[in-house]
Amino acid sequence: MSRTVKQEIERLRAQIAYHSKKYYEDDAPEISDYEYDMLYRRLQELEAAHPEYSDAASPAVRVGGRAAERFEKLTHRVPLKSLQDVFSYEELKSYLCSLDDGTLEYSVECKIDGLSVALTYENGKLTVGGTRGDGVTGENVTQNLKTISDIPLKIPYTGRLVVRGEVYMPRSSFEALNAQREANGEALFANPRNAAAGSLRQLDSAVTARRNLDIFLFNIQECDQIFERHDESLDFLTEQGFSVVPFHKTLRTYEEIIAQIEQIGSMRGTLPFDIDGVVIKVNSIARRQEIGENTNVPKWAVAYKFPPERKESVLRDIIIQVGRTGVLTPNAVFDPVRLAGTSVSRATLHNADFISERDIRIGDTIIVQKAGDIIPEVIEVNHKKREAGALPYVMPTCCPSCGQPVYHAPDEAAIRCTNSSCPAQLLRNIEHFASRDAMDIDGLGPAVVRTLRDAGLIHGFADLYALTAEQIEGLDRMGKKSAANLIAAIDRSKEAGLSRLLYALGIRQVGEKAAQYLASRLHSIDAFFTVTKKELIQMDDIGQITADYIVEYFSHPQTRILIDTLKQYGVKTEHERPEKTDNRFDGMTFVLTGTLPTMTRNQVSDLIESRGGNVSSSVSKKTTYVLAGEKAGSKLTKAEQLGVAIIDEQQFLEMIK
């Protein structure tokens, strides 16, 4: 039983670490806030019940992200801590009862959905500003913060003052920014919070200035002046010229607090900025000090998180999108509704099984929400409002893009187009080929790919390398400079290397990690034309299904023609192993997991390969060492189970001296 608990704790730590990085550092969350909060809460419960598995590096005792390497580090003298979350009125009541002896009053405030920052003023002037980071160490983004008009560069108060606020992007600015990015063929921001975070982390402050960011202050971190109450400190900030968090009220009773939460919640969809909850703080500064703080959260404050916003709409149509692997994905088209600050009118319906399980029919009244305030999704159907005569939806038997028959494999939910020359697949295959993790052709977004295809300039990957600036500059939304930049980006992609090329080709089940592993084992694209299924399966990280897809892909004559053409254009098809320095790791296999203190995985991989070793992405009995860093997850657990030697960065550095 204890091993099962330990495994779950390690799994949760790994999941939270991954999603925390996606949210705080990459500004690209993949799950909803609610799903993240539930993972976090489960980890807290398990660690509280099993202190024998405590770990000082656990996400449960950390605040959030890390400072990005590209910015100067900034240390917060007073930590910028996160808040304990509650998700129901019952939890909130329990929290209040644990504190209140009948004498407390509370400040109830909007919880702005943005990026937390600290601003330092000395002698009335803004001297430094930084992001929260992990609560102790953040990023120095002073120049970018100075572009926000609501941040005064000078204030009347001349003592030392450190204030905390939330930088956000107004909804109108967010919609304008995404419209511009879509027109330029760039990836869209998921929501205003991610747009704000990405904008504040620009290396060029002129870009930040164009993004129209704003800020609300909600706390004084340090001040030479003494305040007795929190609301008094907010009044002081207003006098200094700051915009403080709106709709804040000082209240006493549970009933008053609930009424204010309901009032703020009712305004959520009409506000010009995003909020994701309400913060309840003890108002008396002296009582806060008596109540105290935990390692990562104050005990005197709590955040009530709003549940995902749901709205009804009418399903007007189901349209089919053909993906790069030929999968036919049904998408719902419904009357526009406003959710989490943006208007939505489409959502994926995933596959035929999803539609049949929920009995979704055109004309139905559907309930829609945004998962994590990001991705629109259809939750259910209000069958009571269904009109008579509505027919069950039937997936097409022919591809809507090319008209060829579709195929439904018995072992998967997906229905696929059988035509490898399908125009829709071609479009999305080229988009994937040019994507950041593949050949990384900057400026070749979906809109540009579509323009090039419609002009008859590209019919496949290799055609990209035959393009000239003269062909491009006369196209819609293209000029001499943008054409020259695109050609330069295409030329740079020739140096991407074998692993990126393998991933870019779009072979089924060959993701980024598998491509890196295969490149390190086979070294040349030519080896893939002769490798057998048996040889692939004998590799640690390759299963039978993936092996089948690889052998099948390289058995097609068109693949040989494609690769030969890419070679003629100068695209690198060899894996460049680091120059070998010695043989100390000959016959050894390393697996890397977690975040290392001073080195990146690529740096470590180069050091291992330059000494004759191999780097694998999965742990097996054949693994020699697992090099584990902070937030190591399931690979570390498996290594412990198999008895594989586990080392840290310092031990590894000793090995290569």
Strand intervals (E) in 134-244: 137-139, 161-168, 214-223
Counting other chains too, the contacts that 570-573 makes at CB distance below 8 Å and 24 or more residues apart are 570/465, 570/494, 571/465, 571/493, 571/494, 571/496, 571/501, 572/494, 572/495, 572/496, 572/497, 572/498, 572/501, 573/498, 573/501, 573/524, 573/525, 573/526
Closest to 541 measured CA to CA, from 468, 484, 593, 591: 591
Confirm whether 577 is domain-assigned.
Answer: no
Rounded to an integer, what distance in angstroms lies between the CA atom of residue 281 and that of residue 301? 4
- Least confident range from 109-113, 127-131, 324-328: namely 324-328
- Residue 303: which H helix or E strand, with range? strand 301-305
Q: Are residues 486 and 388 in the same domain?
A: no
Residues 6+ apart with CB under 8 A from 487: 467, 468, 469, 472
Token digits of residue 423: 């125009």
Domain extent, residue 632, equals 589-655
Q: Which of 111, 305, 370, 635 is catalytic?
A: 111
Whether the per-residue pLDDT at 66 is higher than 50: the answer is no
Confirm whether 212 is domain-assigned.
Answer: yes
| CATH for 368 | 2.40.50.140
Residue 298 has a pLDDT of 93
Closest to 165 measured CA to CA, from 264, 242, 98: 242
Query: What number of other Cβ atoms are within 10 A of residue 244's Cβ?
Result: 20
Sign of CA dihedral 108, 114, 115, 120: negative
- Residue 471: which H helix or E strand, with range? helix 469-472
Rounded to an integer, what distance in angstroms lies between the CA atom of residue 274 and that of residue 9? 33
Task: Note if 494 is an active site residue.
Answer: no
Q: Are residues 556 and 593 in the same domain?
A: no
Q: Are residues 382 and 245 in the same domain?
A: no
Q: Are residues 598 and 529 in the same domain?
A: no
Q: Which of 276, 305, 334 marks a domain boundary?
A: 305
| CATH for 45 | 1.10.287.610
Q: Are residues 183 and 290 in the same domain?
A: yes
Confirm whether 579 is domain-assigned.
Answer: no
Whether the per-residue pLDDT at 1 is higher than 50: the answer is no
Residue 91 buriedness (CB in 10 A; 0-12 / 13-18 / 19+) = middle
Q: What is the mean pLDDT of residues 583-605?
A: 82
Confirm whether 174 is domain-assigned.
Answer: yes
Q: How confident is the model at residue 21 (pLDDT cuts 50, 70, 90)?
A: low
| CATH for 633 | 3.40.50.10190
Confirm whether 301 is domain-assigned.
Answer: yes
Q: How confident is the model at residue 33 (pLDDT cuts 50, 70, 90)?
A: low
| CATH for 468 | 1.10.150.20
524 or 31, which is more confident: 524
| CATH for 123 | 3.30.470.30
Confirm whether 474 is domain-assigned.
Answer: yes
What is the tens place of the pLDDT at every residue in 315-368?
A: 999 999 988 778 899 999 999 988 766 778 999 898 899 999 999 999 999 999
Query: What number of other Cβ atoms are within 10 A of residue 572's Cβ?
Result: 17
List C-alpha distances in Å: 151 to 81, 179, 193, 200, 606: 22, 27, 18, 13, 45
Residue 138, SS3 per DSSP:
strand
- Least confident range from 38-42, 116-120, 383-387: namely 38-42
Closest to 645 measured CA to CA, from 615, 629, 624, 622: 624
Token digits of residue 7: 């495994």
Confirm whether 639 is domain-assigned.
Answer: yes
Mean pLDDT of the chain: 86
Q: Are residues 246 and 268 in the same domain?
A: yes
Rounded to an integer, what distance in angstroms lies between the CA atom of residue 194 and that of residue 171? 12
Q: Are residues 638 and 564 in the same domain?
A: no
Please compute, for residue 227, the number of CA atoms within 13 A of its CA located in the half-sphere on the CB side. Answer: 19
Token digits of residue 438: 């593949």
Q: How confident is the model at residue 62 (pLDDT cuts 50, 70, 90)?
A: very low
**What's the number of domains the chain is made of?**
6
Rounded to an integer, what distance in angstroms lies between the CA atom of residue 490 and that of residue 469? 11
Residue 639 has a pLDDT of 87
Q: Which of 246, 277, 305 marks a domain boundary?
A: 305
Q: What is the mean pLDDT of residues 201-209?
A: 85
For residues 651 and 630, is the Cβ–Cβ distance under 8 A? no
Q: Are residues 88 and 233 in the same domain?
A: yes
Token digits of residue 147: 């572009």
Q: Are residues 191 and 290 in the same domain?
A: yes
Closest to 69 measured CA to CA, from 600, 640, 633, 612: 600
Torsion-angle region of 133 (φ positive above 0: left; ψ -120 to 50: alpha; else: beta)? left
Q: Which of 442, 476, 493 marks a domain boundary?
A: 493
What is the tens place of the pLDDT at every residue in 283-310?
A: 999 999 999 988 778 999 999 998 877 8
Confirm whether 71 is domain-assigned.
Answer: no
What is the tens place of the pLDDT at every residue in 364-410?
A: 999 998 765 567 889 999 999 999 989 999 999 999 988 888 888 77
Q: Are residues 364 and 446 in the same domain?
A: no
Q: Are residues 244 and 115 in the same domain?
A: yes
Rounded to an integer, what distance in angstroms lies between the CA atom of residue 561 and that of residue 564? 5
Q: What is the mean pLDDT of residues 52-75?
A: 64
List C-alpha distances in Å: 57 to 264, 594, 652: 36, 11, 20
List C-alpha distances in Å: 336 to 332, 339, 381, 422: 11, 9, 16, 31
Q: Are residues 260 and 124 in the same domain?
A: yes
